[in-house]
Structure 1
Amino acid sequence: MGFFLNYHYYLLSVLLLLPALSYSEDTFTCSRATYYGSPDCLGTPSGACGYGEFGRTVNDANVAGVSRLWKNGTGCGGCYQVRCTVPKLCTDYGVNIVVTDYGEGDHTDFILSPSAYSRLGRPDTADELFAYGVVDVEFRRISCKFKGYKNLMFKVHEHSRFPHYLAIILLYQAGQNEILAVEIWQEDCKEWRGMRRAYGAVWDMPNPPYGSITLRFQVSGSMGMTWIVANNAIPGDWKAGVAYESDIQLT
């Protein structure tokens, strides 16, 4: 009887540990990575996420386009640690990147900016690594952290036309979170109106409410699955191209 109880206790302990092991942040996935051409080694302002100039320089221009991790645009803003596995050429840590674009390569999960790709290799082997073109890598999802920025920002897209058409982008999306939906509060109807994911990380709505804009967005990730409300996130006299800082910190 004692052996029977001890066996079941051991089995229960293993079963309880399995979920923790399966979702460990230390787990890496094998893949491949390449790089795209850029004369200044920065990101591209025409990235499919819609970040524009933000996508060129964010995270010291260590950015990437992804395919499997794109998730119809939900993957925009996600952060990953990527390290290559070519013996004697690669650093032990690799590089932390931010997803700013969509891209398909030769069975690759990442098309890195030249800046990010160069950081995969040791300082004296970067040229040799570039000559490979495509390298074997391993990667894992990590929390996003941005130097000098702790709060989420709402940028009014340049294509917005006050007051008839509003498109927004959520910037500095910290933690391991993904934005699944965005809604605007319609005061006269006392209801939330859903915004459309226009493409990538761009959400839009024709004929938005007058006055200051209150948003709520659905988050999935390190914060669990939850709705977060940003009261008066965008002023009533909003202007295209302007980013407005919130008091919201995603972790």
Structure 2
Amino acid sequence: MRYIFISNVSLLDGGACGFRSDVKNAPYNGLISAGNENIYKSGAGCGACYQVKCTENAACSGNPVTVTITDECPGCSDARFHFDVSGKAFGYMAKPGLANTLRGAGKISIQYQRVPCSYRSTKIAFKTDPGSYNPDYLSFEIEYVNGDGDLASVYLIPSKTNKMIPMQRAYGATWKAQIPRGNFGPYSVRLTTVESRKSIVAANVIPADWKSNDIYRSKVNF
């Protein structure tokens, strides 16, 4: 564990990772954080989970809380590693009855460590981007990834061919691909994580008649 600075923000819109209002609901439950570039990693760090705790402030309980990276903190340069955790997560680090006192500190030193994400029975979900309305272009945001949480590569697999179509990171946790003509759905999606390099295939998760701004839930997770 290393000491870094942590500050208290609201983070209710999902931020630069693209999770949108989902961050307020299960399984994230508002226990989220933005990170500086060493944590956000130009979007590659989206979805990673960290355990954070504080001990140096009198209001700190010393109990850890796990947060998911859902946003970037581009102006956070006062430490090599800087988290801006949600107000809810900030309160979880406090002694009983002292949540507001700890939040009032604004910025504190903490300890942190990278931990596996665990969303229990929740399966990986794919939320199509509002701009995906052209059958030759597909973009979606990927959520609820157990284990590493962040993704190194994503491939789209049309149902009538074994040829995988590589996707590119559009921003944050949103990936995009041009679909060559003749490659029809439904589509499977192959995911590979960053740290462990594990791969998984969500079979036929994107239907042939997919629509923009819709969500498609798989039957798999790491």
TM interval, short-chain normalised: 0.7 to 0.9
Counterpart code for 1:141: R
CA distance in 1, matches of 2:194, 2:104: 39
Higher RCO (CA < 8 A, seq sep 6+): 2
Cross-structure match for 1:227:
199
Say yes or no: does 1:114 pair with 2:87.
yes
CA distance in 2, matches of 1:117, 1:45: 17
- 1:213-243 deviations in whole A, cap 9, x for unaligned? 122122233xx32332222121101122222
CA distance in 1, matches of 2:117, 2:198: 18
Cross-structure match for 2:62:
92
Say yes or no: does 1:57 pair with 2:29.
no
Say yes or no: does 1:130 pair with 2:103.
yes
Greater fraction of residues in helix: 1
Counterpart code for 2:211: K
Structure showing greater Rg: 1
Q: TM-score, normalised by structure 2?
A: 0.87
- 1:162-215 deviations in whole A, cap 9, x for unaligned? 423211121111123431011112567742221110011100123463221122
Q: SS of 1:91's equivalent?
A: coil
After superposition, the Cα gap between the structure-2 partners of 1:53 and 1:73, relative to the gap in structure 1 and judged at 3 Å, is same
1:66 pairs with 12, 22, 35, which one?
Answer: 35
Gaps of 5+ in 1: 1-27
CA distance in 1, matches of 2:118, 2:157: 29
Cross-structure match for 2:178:
206
- 1:88-111 deviations in whole A, cap 9, x for unaligned? 310121321111100143435210
Identity %: 28
CA distance in 1, matches of 2:96, 2:69: 24
Gaps of 5+ in 2: none
- 1:65-90 deviations in whole A, cap 9, x for unaligned? 01111122121111111111224310
After superposition, the Cα gap between the structure-2 partners of 1:247 and 1:139, relative to the gap in structure 1 and judged at 3 Å, is same
Counterpart code for 2:105: Y
Count of residue pairs brought into register by the alignment? 215
79-88 or 131-140: which moved more?
79-88
Counterpart code for 2:34: G
CA distance in 1, matches of 2:151, 2:126: 13
- 1:97-153 deviations in whole A, cap 9, x for unaligned? 111100143435210111111222113322332222110000111221226x43212
Counterpart code for 2:23: G
CA distance in 2, matches of 1:200, 1:71: 9
Counterpart code for 1:98: T
After superposition, the Cα gap between the structure-2 partners of 1:46 and 1:94, relative to the gap in structure 1 and judged at 3 Å, is closer
CA distance in 1, matches of 2:99, 2:191: 41
Q: SS of 2:18's equivalent?
A: coil
Cross-structure match for 2:147:
175
Cα deviation, residue 34, structure 1:
0.1
- Counterpart mapping for 1:30-45 below 5 A: 30-36=3-9, 38=10, 43-45=11-13
Q: TM-score, normalised by structure 1?
A: 0.77
Q: RMSD across aligned C-alpha pairs, in angstroms?
A: 2.1
